[in-house]
Amino acid sequence: MMTSEDTAKICLITTGGTISSIYDEGIQALRPGLSVDALLDRLPKGMGNIEVIKRELYQLDSANAQPHHWQTLAGAIKQVSEEIPDLYGIVVSHGTDTMVYSAAAVSFMIQDFGKPIVFTGAQIPASVPWSDGPRNLLDAIRVAAFGDLGETCIVFNGEIHRATRTKKVRVNSYDAFDSMDPSPIGMLARNIVLYEGRKKRDHSLVPRYDTKLDDRVFLLKVFPGLPPQTLARIVDMGYHGIVIEGFGSGNIPTDENALTGGILQAIDQKCFVVVSSQCAFGQADLSIYAVGRAAMDVGAMSAHDMTSEAALVKLAWVLGHTTEPDRVREMMAISYVGEMSFTTPLPPRNKTKR
């Protein structure tokens, strides 16, 4: 437990995004440009017993983020946590466009961290007086330093979301993110309010860092008129996994422009297929309708209530470890970091006292 005399060390890793953007007269548009020092200068002076260690990793618009950036970020978190073992937590400032992908990837690649890894950003650049960036950054620092939390999360607009259960749902509003069933895992007011069901701080855990990924995973949104040959083209392009975002509970066309043949062909060519839902809330249950069961009968896996973003990242992470069909199915059915609400439970991990 932290006493009033202790200093909470947290590390702020900046990666760019709107929060660090400035207006460039030359291109007449926003681009990342604020340094980590400039971001911190916009916070209230004097943060009590919090020491912020600074790391500037990227100046990247998150629309340009690639899977290798996720791996580099996870490596940076590993490096700083090994250099400074008494860290209370990590804050990552990131663009909102692909924050949920990066945060989900870090969740899978760094497990049993035992401390908060907090992603945050802004809808309005911190260089603008009414930006939400300073508040979000300060909230994230509070959670990293004092929150009884032991998992990767997104802190935004006073809410704390599990990284693998979050979607960006608003383009411009301050409340850009929502948790997709269940509710957020906490909120910030006078105090940090955290709900049951979260992972709590546990300094006895030994973090497991595993950044292996297969980035040849495709996310395909089903729409009326989608040509079935699209699946074969995706496989021909060298993809090893496809997340199909189906209608409703994971339904796909099975009559005109039927996708079942393309799914079967993809699976026969060693390409794994997962079906998620286009709906923000609820789950993909392929057993309800004939048009869902058809996908299951030819070998597609259900994403259950995973978001499509989390399903894509998880499949990439799983395929980085195995391509053995039974093992892939087994791993996709395990909830490793709370990405699904009902699944095969993760086997217990041994704890080692530090």
Catalytic center residues: 18, 96-97, 168
Q: How many residues does the chain have?
A: 354
Locus of tokens 């009968």: 297
CB 20 within 8 A of CB 93: yes
CB 335 within 8 A of CB 343: yes
Strands 117-120, 87-93: pairing is parallel
Cα–Cα distance for residue pair 286/278, rounded to 1 Å: 13
CA 249 to chain centre: 22
Strands 186-188, 177-179: pairing is unpaired
End-to-end CA distance of the chain: 15
Locus of tokens 């709900």: 195
The identity of residue 87, as a single letter, is L
